[in-house]
């Protein structure tokens, strides 16, 4: 543990975040503790415990750290919470149908859980070794999740049915759907797009680990070990028969190529092309289905639904343009928007969109600032990779309502918090 850092930081924060990561990725998103209903998701419960732990630790700690750093990620998230609370209060004052009150309350609890993830990431991770350790675990978790999705693809089954037989547990049916005769797997997520978002968000971190084998956070046995999870994640995106997954993969690869050492750029490009060739050769119909996704996008029902949603969005936003209709109150029975940004505009209004977008900008700025302020090449690369992950999530949130899904929402706030931690570590090194 670093000298001058509060006792609750370091390994304790890494352990808490590791447990959260396990509950988020290893336990299916549709699993809940029956007695708690919609509030019974294990990762949500652990996030609430983390925010309570953060409060207690802050009250007990007298040491603010050797190098106090202003945290724009934390500030913008607090603003986002304030807007959500105001929107909730206004919505309750206007009156809501009985079946909308519970989802709105659940949405606020979900936001409370996210705050635990983000605050522990920012304030608990105070040393380079701790940051490397949790990033390494994100990469390993994403690699295992990708391998599990490939197993689902091969077997054409969810492989998760045993969860429904556990006493006290409720799990919605998880289906491996098909598109063009090719399986579209969800991993442990509720939806394939949620699964793709988590994997593509982790890909820049895995690539950074793969090229930085001089750092402690590489695999000890062999300098090429981190290319295995990178290949698994890439393959999952290529066989996912999803425009969003392929776009996310492209964003991750393109944002990381400029910072790769020259000797690794050819490896990434050639390796990606080789994976694509193997996948197309081994899976009948994959090439035709993938090409059709983009060539026939204008006639695709999902594309038409998204464009139609954009056309109807002003109609719903006009009901309460400033603070929205209330976070979590816009139910699917009104309309299904496959766009997190549009749904935030409807539920939280203009103020909500500004606050939500500010979290992304603050996280990206924090990562990029750490890249140029730190004199440590490891922190510099990590800052850039974390910022690239946030860019990827921002893009993919335009294709589905990411905040409504546990894995994608949880992964976003975890990575945003780590961007804040990287800024703090980078500036401490600079000082």
Q: What is the mean pLDDT of each run of 10 residues along the chain (431 residues)?
A: 45 89 94 89 95 87 57 95 93 83 89 95 90 92 94 89 86 76 84 91 91 51 72 86 84 87 77 80 74 64 66 83 88 80 93 96 95 85 95 93 92 96 83 61
Q: Are 80 and 107 in contact (CB under 8 A)?
A: no
**CA pair distance 184, 197, nearest whole angstrom:** 14
Q: Are 408 and 197 in contact (CB under 8 A)?
A: yes
What residues contact residue 246 under an 8 Å CB cut-off, 6+ apart? 237, 238, 240, 290, 293
Angle (nearest 5°) at CA 390 between 385 and 392: 95
CA nearest to 424, candidates 382, 385, 388, 391: 382
**CA pair distance 365, 356, nearest whole angstrom:** 15
Q: H helices of 257-397, where?
A: 262-282, 286-295, 301-317, 340-373, 377-396
Q: What is the pLDDT of residue 6?
A: 45
**CA pair distance 66, 319, nearest whole angstrom:** 48
What residues contact residue 177 under an 8 Å CB cut-off, 6+ apart? 183, 184, 192
Q: What is the pLDDT of residue 335?
A: 79
**Per-residue tokens: 351:** 């103020």
Q: Is the pTM of this model over 0.95?
A: no
**DSSP state string for 294-310:** HHTGGG-HHHHHHHHHH
The CA-based diameter of the chain, rounded to the nearest angstrom, is 63
Please, what is the end-to-end C-alpha distance for the chain in angstroms?
19
- Cα-atom radius of gyration of the chain, to the nearest Å? 21
Q: How far is CA 351 from CA 59, 205, 311, in A?
A: 31, 31, 21
**CA pair distance 237, 199, nearest whole angstrom:** 8
**Per-residue tokens: 334:** 């009104």
Spell 343-376 as b/e; 16+ CB within 10 A means b: bbbbbbbebbbebbebbbebbbbbbbbbbebbeb
């Amino acid at each position: 543990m670093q000298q001058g850092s509060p006792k609750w930081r370091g390994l304790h924060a890494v352990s808490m975040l590791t447990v959260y990561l396990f509950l988020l990725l290893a336990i299916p998103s549709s699993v809940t503790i029956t007695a708690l209903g919609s509030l019974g998701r294990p990762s949500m419960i652990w996030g609430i415990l983390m925010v309570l732990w953060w409060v207690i630790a802050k009250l007990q700690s007298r040491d603010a750290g050797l190098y106090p750093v202003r945290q724009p990620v934390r500030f913008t998230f607090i603003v986002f919470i304030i807007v959500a609370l105001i929107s909730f209060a206004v919505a309750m004052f206007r009156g809501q149908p009985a079946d909308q009150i519970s989802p709105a309350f659940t949405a606020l609890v979900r936001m409370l859980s996210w705050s635990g993830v983000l605050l522990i990431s920012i304030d608990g991770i105070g040393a380079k070794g701790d940051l490397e350790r949790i990033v390494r675990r994100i990469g390993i978790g994403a690699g295992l999740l990708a391998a599990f999705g490939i197993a689902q693809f091969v077997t054409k089954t969810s492989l998760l049915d045993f969860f429904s037989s556990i006493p006290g547990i409720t799990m919605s049916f998880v289906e491996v759907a098909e598109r063009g005769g090719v399986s579209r797997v969800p991993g442990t997520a509720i939806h394939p797009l949620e699964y793709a978002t988590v994997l593509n968000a982790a890909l820049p971190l895995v690539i950074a680990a793969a090229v930085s084998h001089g750092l402690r956070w590489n695999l000890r046995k062999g300098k090429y070990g981190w290319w295995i999870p990178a290949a698994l994640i890439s393959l999952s995106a290529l066989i996912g028969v999803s425009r969003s997954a392929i776009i996310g993969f492209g964003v991750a690869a393109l944002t990381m190529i400029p910072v790769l050492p020259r000797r690794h750029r050819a490896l990434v490009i050639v390796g990606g092309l080789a994976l694509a060739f193997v996948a197309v050769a081994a899976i009948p119909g994959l090439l035709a289905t993938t090409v059709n996704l983009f060539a026939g996008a204008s006639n695709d029902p999902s594309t038409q639904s998204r464009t139609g949603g954009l056309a109807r969005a002003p109609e719903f936003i006009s009901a309460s343009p400033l603070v929205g209709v209330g976070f979590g109150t816009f139910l699917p029975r009104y309309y299904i928007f496959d766009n997190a940004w549009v749904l935030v505009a409807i539920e939280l209004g203009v103020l909500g969109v500004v606050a939500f977008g500010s979290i992304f900008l603050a996280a990206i700025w924090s990562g990029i600032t750490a890249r140029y302020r730190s004199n440590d090449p490891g922190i510099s690369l990590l800052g850039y990779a974390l910022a690239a992950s946030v860019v990827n999530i921002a893009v993919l949130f335009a294709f589905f309502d990411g905040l409504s899904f546990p894995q994608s929402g949880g992964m976003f706030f975890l990575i945003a918090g780590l961007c804040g931690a990287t800024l703090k570590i980078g500036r401490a090194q600079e000082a």
